[in-house]
Structure 1
Amino acid sequence: MEFTTHDLTEAKRQIDSTLHKLRETIKTLELKEDMNRYKSQITLAKRRVDAFEIANCLIEAELNKRQ
């Protein structure tokens, strides 16, 4: 599938926004007194951060190839 530079740039912008929100969510959940209650949600959010970071790296690599 072919993506324009604009498509990739917009996808990266959206991923960056989602990463910011996920990281803030993790911070909030980890600060709760009953953190163990949220352990699975924290784990899921951290896994999503990892996945989005991989996607971001791949997008950046593609954008750099186009310059």
Structure 2
Amino acid sequence: MVYSEEELLEAKRQIDSTLHKLAETIKTLEGKENPARYKSQITLAKRRIQAFTLAVDLIQRELEQRTT
């Protein structure tokens, strides 16, 4: 599927926003009194960060290829 530059930029913006929220969630959960209780949520958030970071990298690569 071919995406427009605007679609890619909007997707990147949305993913960046989600990444920020996930990072804040991890900080909050790790800062709780008993962070071990939230281990599964922390692990899930970290895995999502990895996946979204990969997605942002791929979007960025696609955008850079279009400008060259």
TM-score range, shorter chain: over 0.9
Provide the aligned length of Structure 1 versus Structure 2. 67
Which residue in 2 is equivalent to 1:20? 20
Could you say what the CA RMSD is over the residues aligned between the two structures, in angstroms?
0.3
Measure, in 2, the Cα distance between the counterparts of 1:54 and 1:2.
19
- Superposition pairs for residues 1-67 of structure 1, below 5 Å? 1-67=1-67
Letter in 1 for 2:4: T
Structure 2: gaps spanning 5 or more residues: none
Cα-to-partner distance string for 1:30-52 (whole Å, 9 max, x where unaligned): 00011011000000000000000
- Length-normalised TM-score, structure 1: 0.99
Letter in 2 for 1:58: L
Equivalent residue of 1:66, what SS?
Answer: helix
Equivalent residue of 2:33, what SS?
Answer: coil
Measure, in 1, the Cα distance between the counterparts of 2:24 and 2:66.
32
Identity %: 66
Equivalent residue of 2:57, what SS?
Answer: helix
Measure, in 2, the Cα distance between the counterparts of 1:39 and 1:63.
36
Higher relative contact order structure (alpha carbons within 8 Å, sequence separation ≥ 6): 1
Structure 1: gaps spanning 5 or more residues: none
